Amino acid sequence: MKTIISARRKLTTAIAGLSAATLTFAAMGLQAEQTVNLGHTLSDSSHYSVGADAFKETLERLSDGEFKVAEHPSGSLGGERAMIEGLQIGTVDVVITSSGPLGNFVPESYVLDLPFLFADYEEARCVLDSEIGQDLLAKMGDHNLVGLAWSENGFRHMTNSKLQINSPEDAKGLKVRTMENKVHMAAFEQMGVHPTPMAFPEVFTALQQGTVDGQENPITVIVATKFWEVQDYLTLTGHVYSPAIVLGSPVLLEGLNEEQRSWFQQAADASAEATRDEVTRLEKDGVALLRGEGMTVTTDVDKAPFQKAVEPAYKVYTDQYGNEMLKRIRASSC
């Protein structure tokens, strides 16, 4: 009996020791190998992918391999709306997304989707880097998201398969895919086109099959998605600046210590900077590339009639969300 008890004790002690070791090992193992799943909708040659690479390089370097980043490009984790939902429940860790579906989650961000709000890249970047941008990032926290950094998609332009667009009248009656964003949809309705909201991963096929005649996106996206294969005409309307944002999942980020959290912040900042640099490069080289691929590009666009046509979208926005943010942006020194 004594022997049995003693054997049992030994066994229990051994198991206790083992589980402590296993736990320590597991904890170490978890730290050594934690994979961060980063999703975006664009191809692995896009400006978002350049940003994903910078995120990966920075986080893996700062954490000395404690975190590994797995990039999931081309909408392989779903469209932008689905990925934002994934962040909220913790099935995705980090997402680089346009502001397209963001207003559905964080209405405060709709202000950035107003047409012709920013005159140029310099102004848009300056506002997003100011306290206004920081306040908007902080708002993400009220909606179960972590706003890490303002990245960039670019000024959006119209493409279609029917005709060369020189004025809003030319666009009347076209079926144009828009993002799932009510401010954008209101603007296009004012222009007389039929806005058809759709998640980005479906757009290429919809254009190919003629479900829609056109779409609008920055040069960056038109290049990365090879839209020239399904669209003949591009008009540089620059009708709205399209910010991108690096968002994190609160499920992951709220469980991190301060140092780990700072690695994620630095990785997001490096990602945004690398993406902006790539946008700048493509703004210089993109049009020549698209012409080379056979697109008819209208560069000399009188923007005033477009601006006039979409102006009522401002009232649609302010009626619902007030004009406090808009006033702040207009009063900024940028």
Binding residues vs ligand EAX (CB under 6 A): 41-42, 80, 97-98, 100, 153, 179, 200, 217, 221, 242
CB 285 to ligand EAX: min, Å: 19
Beta bridge partners of 157: 217
CB 269 to ligand EAX: min, Å: 19
Is-contact 87 106, C-beta < 8 A? no
Nearer to ligand EAX, 63 or 74 (CB): 74
Cα end-to-end span (Å), the chain: 84
CB 161 to ligand EAX: min, Å: 17
Please state, in angstroms and rounded to a whole number, the distance separating the CA atoms of residues 129 and 117: 16
CB 206 to ligand EAX: min, Å: 12
CB 317 to ligand EAX: min, Å: 19
CB 257 to ligand EAX: min, Å: 31
Please state, in angstroms and rounded to a whole number, the distance separating the CA atoms of residues 122 and 140: 24
Nearer to ligand EAX, 63 or 153 (CB): 153
Please, what's the b/e burial string for 155-192 (b: 16 or more CB within 10 A of its CB; e: otherwise)? bbbbbbbeeebeebebbeebbbbbbbbbbbbbbbbbbe
Nearer to ligand EAX, 82 or 325 (CB): 82
Nearer to ligand EAX, 67 or 77 (CB): 77
In single-letter form, the type of residue at position 138 comes to A
Q: Is 36 helix (H, G, I), strand (E, B) or coil?
A: strand
Please state, in angstroms and rounded to a whole number, the distance separating the CA atoms of residues 11 and 235: 77
CB 132 to ligand EAX: min, Å: 21
Please state, in angstroms and rounded to a whole number, the distance separating the CA atoms of residues 155 and 266: 26
Please state, in angstroms and rounded to a whole number, the distance separating the CA atoms of residues 67 and 260: 9
Q: Is 197 helix (H, G, I), strand (E, B) or coil?
A: strand
Helix H or strand E encompassing 315: helix 312-321
CB 17 to ligand EAX: min, Å: 52
Nearer to ligand EAX, 67 or 140 (CB): 140
Nearer to ligand EAX, 63 or 290 (CB): 290
CA-wise closest residue to 158 among 236, 228, 226, 99: 236
Nearer to ligand EAX, 202 or 277 (CB): 202
Nearer to ligand EAX, 159 or 242 (CB): 242
Query: What are the C-alpha distances in Å from 159 to residues 232, 237, 299, 311?
Result: 7, 10, 12, 21
